[in-house]
Amino acid sequence: MENPINQFNNWLETAFEEGIKEANTMVLSTVSELGKPSARMVFLKGHSSKGLLFFTNYNSRKAKDIMSNHHASLLFYWKELERQIRIEGIVRKASAEESDTYFHSRSFESNLSAIASPQSAVIPDRNFLLNRIALIRKENTIETLRRPLYWGGFKLIPEYFEFWQAGEGRLHDRVSYTLKDDGWEVNVLAP
């Protein structure tokens, strides 16, 4: 395939068809302004040729890393299919409209948690969060709850894809796509 987005779509669709629970789970790796790497699991919430979309608190460690260093990578791994996809690129904030749309598609409980949690900050204990959620719930309904400005989406705009398929005797198939001025350069890599 000449377009890695099509290959990505095919593999993700296959993972869902095979019944892999939360096949849209991916490892997001960022690097801080001090050059320290960090990785965590997040959910892919949308994708197109314009990027891969995920959401978080803009005050979280991952968001701070992204704001100081826009380069990041994603990793999808489906053990059942013996496949993985590595994606590298530049991360930009999603539009306010995209963030609002996704926020209002979520459950009331999930949004209460998003508003109440000062993600990545040290808190005294779990009761701190439970009390904040109770207060927000008391003051809001699902209709009145609004997305806070400190929560929203990011898009990773791909510059590199690598598709890995396990092979017998560890003779794995690896194909990379690197974005160039005139399109995607495709290479076969040794396992």
Q: Which residues are catalytic?
A: 170
Whether the CB-CB separation of 178 and 187 falls below 8 Å is answered with yes
| Long-range pairs of 132-141 with CB within 8 A, sequence gap ≥ 24 | 136/112, 137/112
* E strands, 127-172, in order: 151-165
Tell me, what DSSP letter sits at residue 95?
A: P
* E strands, the chain, in order: 25-31, 37-43, 46-48, 51-57, 71-78, 83-93, 151-165, 173-180, 183-189
Instruction: Using alpha carbons, select from 118, 117, 102 the residue that is nearest to residue 55.
Output: 102
C-alpha span between 165 and 78 (Å, rounded):
10
- 3-state secondary structure at position 24: coil
